[in-house]
Structure 1
Amino acid sequence: MKNLTRPLPPLKSVRLLDQLRERIRYLHYTISTEQTYVYWVKGFIRFHGLRHPAEMGRAEIEAFLSWLANERRVAVSTHKQELSALLFLYGKVLGVDLPWMNDIGRPRTKRRLPVVLTPDEVARLLCLMAGEHRLLAQLLYGTGMRINEGLQLRVKDIDFERRTVIVREGKGGKDRAVMLPESLIRPLREQLARARVLWADDCRCGRAGVEMPDALARKYPRAGTSWAWFWVFPQADVSVDPRSGVVRRHHLYDQTFQRAFKRAVTCTGLTKLATPHTLRHSFATALLQSGYDIRTVQELLGHADVATTMIYTHVLKVGGGGVRSPMDALPAPGLSP
C-alpha cells in the first residue's frame, strides 16, 4: 500500500522554537496548542541543561516524563500534553521517527464524575454576574457550548428567526447547531447593538478586520472588516495579534471571563469546584433529567461518541433520581420495627 501522506515543506526558520511555531501554524493548530507545545518543549530543554533535542533520545525523554510524574506529580492530562508536544517536536519538526515511543508507558485517564450545578445554584450564580459576562454564562448554560465556542461566536452565527446558534469549528473541527434560548433573544440583540458600536469605530479608524479562520482572509480580503464576521463578544480594547503582529480587535479573553465566574462562585458560597465548563455539564444533566434522549444530548454537545455523553446518566443515578438508600428505610431510634 502506498503512503498517501504528503511530505511537509522545508522549514524556513532557524531557531528550534521558531521552527516549532512555524510547523504548528502550517498544520493549522490553535494558538492555545502552540503556546502549550512551546511551553513544554522549553521545559524539556531546560530540564536537560539546554541541550538540543536532536542530541537527545529515549533516555532523556523518559527521564523528563518520569520527573513530571514522580516529582512534579502532574495530572494525567498534563502528562499527555507533554508527551504530545515531544511527539510533535520529533516527528513534525526534527523529522525523527520514534517507534520506541509506543513502548513508553502512557498514564491512564481515570473516569471522573463531572461537577454539576442544580438549576437553583445556576440561578444564584448568574445573579452575581453582570453585563456581557453574565450573558455569556447564560448562553453557555442555555446551549451547552464550550467556553471557546461561546467566545468565538460571530454575528452571522446567530439566527434569530430560526432560534438557532451555529457553532463553527467545534472540538474536532466540526460544526453543529444548538438552540437559541428564547429568554436570551433580547439580551443578545442588545449585546449586538453594543458590539456594532465597536465595529463602527474600527471601520472609522481603518483598523484591520477581525481574525479570519484559515485562508479566508486571502480568499475574501474584505470579509474580516464586515459586520457579519464581527465578534458577538468583542474585547473593549484592541490588541496585537500574537501571530501576525497586526493590531486588531480580539474577542473577549477567556481569562477575563473565568475570573469573573470564579468571583461569582466565591460570592455564592458554593463548595462545589465549579468552572465555566461546569455550565456545560449542568446543561446536559438538566436535559436528561427533563426526559430528552441521550442521542439528542450527544448531538447538542458535539460528542463524537455517545459513551462520552453517558457519564451524565451516572450523575443522575447518584443524585435524586437514583436508588433509595437503605439508611432512609431504617425505623426511627426507639421505635420497634
Structure 2
Amino acid sequence: MYGSGLRVMEVCRLRVMDIDFENNYIIVRTSKGNKWRKCLLPNNLIEDIKQRIINTQKRHEQDLEEGYGTAYLPSALSKKSPNASKEFKWQYLFPSRKQSANRITGEIQRFHMHERKLQRAVSQAIANNHIHKKANCHTFRHSFATRLLENGTDIRNIHAYRT
C-alpha cells in the first residue's frame, strides 16, 4: 500500500495476472468507480511478491486436486470463458484461508482475503513497532502521495493515482 498507493480493497482484490514484473507495475482492475489504472511495483517487493505467487500456486494446485480451484470472475466472463475460472492467473494474490460458497452460483470457491484481516495486520504491525502516531492502511496511501511530491513528481501525475 505504501509503495504503490493502493487502497485496502485494491490490495485484497489483486489477482496473479495483475502483477507485471517485466514493466514494474501493478494493474488495479477493481478500483473506485470501476476504473482501471496502473500503479508502481516497488523493486524491494518483487521477491516477496514472487514468493507470494509461488505459495498461491501451491494452494491453487491443492484446491484443484480436491475438486475445487475456481475463482470468482467479473461480469459475464464466466459465461464467455467457462474454464477461465480454474486458470491460475485469475487466482487472488492474497487468497482467503477458507473456501466458501459463491452466493450467486453456490459453487465452492476461494475468494480474496477479507479487508478486515489486512487492516488488523497493519494495526498490529504499527503497535509492534511502537509507532505512537495515528496510522492505518489509508495513511500509507497518503504517505505514498507525499513521497512522490517530495521527490518532485508533478501534482497532476500524483492526482492520476487517486482515481
Which residue does 1:220 correspond to in 2?
A: 81
Correspondence 1:254 to 2:105: no
Correspondence 1:290 to 2:148: no
Matches within 5 A, 1:116-195: 140-195=1-56
Higher helix content, 1 or 2:
1
What's the Cα RMSD here?
A: 1.4
Which residue does 2:130 correspond to in 1?
A: 269
Per-residue CA distance 1:60-103 (angstroms, 9 max, x = gap): xxxxxxxxxxxxxxxxxxxxxxxxxxxxxxxxxxxxxxxxxxxx
Q: Are 1:238 and 1:247, in contact at CA under 8 Å, matched by a contact in 2?
A: yes
Per-residue CA distance 1:113-142 (angstroms, 9 max, x = gap): xxxxxxxxxxxxxxxxxxxxxxxxxxx111
Per-residue CA distance 1:7-59 (angstroms, 9 max, x = gap): xxxxxxxxxxxxxxxxxxxxxxxxxxxxxxxxxxxxxxxxxxxxxxxxxxxxx
Cα separation, partners in 2 of 1:169 and 1:260, compared to 1, 3 Å: closer
Identity over aligned pairs, percent: 36
Higher strand content, 1 or 2:
2
Please report how far the alpha carbon of residue 244 of structure 1 lies from its aligned counterpart in structure 2 after TM superposition: 3.4
Matches within 5 A, 1:50-129: none
Q: Are 1:163 and 1:182, in contact at CA under 8 Å, matched by a contact in 2?
A: yes
Please report how far the alpha carbon of residue 178 of structure 1 lies from its aligned counterpart in structure 2 after TM superposition: 1.1
Matches within 5 A, 1:29-44: none
Cα distance between partner residues in 1 of 2:106 and 2:132? 42
Correspondence 1:240 to 2:88: no
- What TM-score does the superposition give when structure 1 sets the normalisation length? 0.46
Q: Are 2:13 and 2:30, in contact at CA under 8 Å, matched by a contact in 1?
A: no
For these two proteins, the number of residue pairs brought into alignment is 163
Ranked by relative contact order (alpha carbons within 8 Å, sequence separation 6 or more), the top structure is 2
| SS at 1:258 equivalent | helix
Please report how far the alpha carbon of residue 227 of structure 1 lies from its aligned counterpart in structure 2 after TM superposition: 0.8
| Residue ranges of structure 1 left out of the alignment (5+ in a row) | 1-139, 303-337
Correspondence 1:199 to 2:83: no
Cα distance between partner residues in 1 of 2:134 and 2:108? 37
Please report how far the alpha carbon of residue 195 of structure 1 lies from its aligned counterpart in structure 2 after TM superposition: 0.3
| SS at 2:27 equivalent | strand
Per-residue CA distance 1:222-279 (angstroms, 9 max, x = gap): 1111011111111222122344332111111111111111122223333332111111
- Which structure's CA Rg is the greater one? 1
Q: Are 2:119 and 2:136, in contact at CA under 8 Å, matched by a contact in 1?
A: yes
